[in-house]
Amino acid sequence: MATEFIEKSSASVDDVLREVTRIKAIVKDAVEDGVDSALRAIEQGRETAENAMVDARRAIKRNPLQAAGIIFASGIIAGTLLTWMSSSRRR
């Protein structure tokens, strides 16, 4: 009887160890896939940002006065909003 229990126990320990090893491999693969996806997303974001910078430089070179006007108007709007927000907080 005792030998049968020991054999069944060792078989179940082996089963548990096999299952743990299998789960460990699944988790490892999932983490590696996640890291690869994150690295691809970072690279794609970097390329998109670089392309936007190139496009912006090109647009400024083609229309420098329009670009200066847009920057000036953006500054006026941002200053107005900041002044309005700071004055409304004091009340």
- pLDDT tens figures, 31-75: 999 999 999 999 999 999 999 999 999 999 999 999 999 999 999
CB contact at 8 A, 71 and 64? no
Global pTM? 0.52
Provide the residue ranges of all domains of the chain, joining segments of one domain with +. Answer: 2-89
Q: Flag whether pLDDT at 2 surpasses 70.
A: no
Q: Which H or E run includes 74?
A: helix 64-89
Q: Which H or E run includes 13?
A: helix 2-62
C-alpha to C-alpha distance for 70 and 64, rounded to whole angstroms: 10
Backbone angles phi, psi at 90, to 5 degrees: -75, -20
